[in-house]
Structure formats: C-alpha cells, structure tokens
Amino acid sequence: MTIIDGKKVAADIRAELKVTIDKLKAEGKGVPGLVAILVGEDPASKVYVGMKEKACIEAGLYSKIDRLSSDTSELELLKLIEAYNNDEKIHGILVQLPLPKHINEDAIIEAISPTKDVDGFHPINVGKMVIGKETLYPCTPHGVVELLKRYDIETKGKHVVVVGRSNIVGKPVANMLLQKKAGANAVVTVVHSAAKDLASITKQADISIAAIGVPEFIKADMVKDDVVVIDVGVNRVEDSTKKSGYKLVGDVDYENVSKKSSFITPVPGGVGPMTIAMLLQNTYLAYLSLKNK
C-alpha cells in the first residue's frame, strides 16, 4: 500500500511555479496577481484565506486580501468584483464561500470574469470542462486528477466510482475523469444518497473517490482489494485526547480501508494541500491567458 502524499506533491507544484514566476520577474514581465475577498467572520474561511495568502507569497505571486464586514451588501460586493475584473494587476479573483445569507452566491460567482475565475465555478468554465475544452478547472477536483497523474496511476478504462455529487467536487471530478484524454478516459459512476445498494457499486471501483462529507463513511467491506482510494472529505470529530478537543478524519475509514488499498490519500495531508496548489496554478494560467490577449 502506497500513501499518496498530497503535501509533498503540492510543495513540488509550488516550487515549480516559483521557478517560473522568478523567471517572469527577471524578464520584467510582471507577476500573476490574486485577490481573495472575505465577507464576514467565518473562522474556517479566515484560516483558509490566510493559508492562500501565505502560499501566494512563497510562490512569488502578488496577493491581496479584501476583508469585508458581514453586513456588506450584495451590490457593494458586485461593484468590488467589477473593479477587479478591470484591474490589470489582478489575474485571479476568489470570493471565499460561504457568503452571508443575504448575498446570492450564484450572482456573485457569475459576476466574476470567466478569465479570472480561478475557483473554476463560473458557468462558462463549468460548461467548457463538461465538453472537454481547456479552461480554469475547479481546484479540488483538479488536485485529485493531478495526484493520480503524479503517482502514475492508470485511469484509462478503469472504473472510477465517485461517492458524492456536489458542484464543488463530485460532479466536476467525474466530468474531468471521463474526458477522452491522457490522465482521464475512465469509466465513471457517480453514486449518492439515493442509491438503494451503494456498497454494491463502490465494491466495483478500481478507483474510489469519496466526497460525501460523512466521517469514515466508506468501510473496508465497501471496497475491493487493491483499490485506489482518494479521500476528499475533511470532517471534525470529537477527540478528548487532543488539545483542540477534536481530530480531522476523512470520508473513508482509513485504518481498515488502507489494508485493502494499493494507493490511498490520508486526511489530513492528502487532497487538502492540493486545492491551494491548483489555485496558484490557475492564477498563473489566467495570467498567461490575459497577457496573450
């Protein structure tokens, strides 16, 4: 069994990007710029935005954070996004979700220029992904695909079972892996809570991708021997032995499923670090696209 080290792969991607950006600086071509907009005081969002800023600085990108109060109106946020759509120093715009309830998330996502949509959530970018055109892909699903590539895990003709159908992970990773191209070309099944016998389907998987948001949902008797397991879930569960009072676990029963796996991602340290690495890569790709216009 091989543990897929997302921390190492993400560090490699950031290091590769830094070399590229240092070269841009040396040639006087400017650097990719990312703005993160945080509305309100959600603790997890604040931590995540801080991690993004740190990663940007380490890789040499220009980074800016706009911290707005929770009573910021939808109109104010839309005006700010429009300003960044027209800002030549900014190549990527990220609005941290979730937003306060009085703001329509769909309206905000659709207001971001598709060419600067480094989260890959804009309907135009989603549409391009579905029909197989190059675009800015959603960061977490793209991170999953990149891990499979970097560990030389064959996907062509393999049966990938995705557990979960969210717009953020389940649907996009399924679409990315069924495309007829290198690093994909898989036979993909998506299962979810409506499945009458979910385990009978997950047991068929050559590659199992768990993105359901339920702690340790995938048990050893739900997978076959030598399965490749990609655990996207991050769940807090109580643990009195920890100073924080909780521990992080995935959607997979790691201790038992790992014994049957050929490859498996841990939680934490698997898919999670890849999300930010792919965000930085998207910002660089957006920079190239906008510079070449």
- Number of alpha carbons in the 13 Å side-chain half-sphere of residue 103: 25
- Among residues 96, 117, 251, 253, the one annotated as catalytic is 96
The DSSP H or E segment spanning 284 is helix 272-291
Name the band, by pLDDT with cuts 50, 70 and 90, for residue 42: confident
| 41 pLDDT more than 80 | yes
- Among residues 119, 206, 251, 253, the one annotated as catalytic is 119
| 107 pLDDT more than 90 | yes
What mean pLDDT is predicted for residues 160-176?
97
Name the burial class of residue 158, with classes exposed (0-12), middle (13-18) and buried (19+) by CB atoms within 10 angstroms of its CB: middle
- When the pLDDT of each residue in the chain is averaged and rounded to a whole number, the result is 95
- Among residues 52, 171, 231, 253, the one annotated as catalytic is 52
Helices 43-59, 6-26: axis angle to 10 degrees equals: 50
Q: Which phi and psi (to 5°) does residue 262 adopt? A: -90, -40
The pLDDT tens digits for 175-231 are: 999 999 999 999 999 999 899 999 999 999 999 999 999 999 999 999 999 999 999
pTM of the model: 0.94
Which residues lie across from 35 on neighbouring strands? 64, 93
Q: Which two tokens stand for residue 180?
A: 């007829």
- Find out whether 144 and 230 touch, Cβ atoms under 8 Å: yes
Q: Quick check: is 42 catalytic?
A: no
pLDDT of residue 48: 86
- Name all domains of the chain by residue range, CATH numbers in brackets: 28-113 (3.40.50.10860), 139-272 (3.40.50.720)
Name the burial class of residue 286, with classes exposed (0-12), middle (13-18) and buried (19+) by CB atoms within 10 angstroms of its CB: buried
For residue 209, what are the contacts with CB-CB under 8 A and spacing of at least 6?
A: 144, 160, 161, 162, 163, 164, 173, 230, 232
Q: Quick check: is 243 catalytic?
A: no
Name the band, by pLDDT with cuts 50, 70 and 90, for residue 46: confident
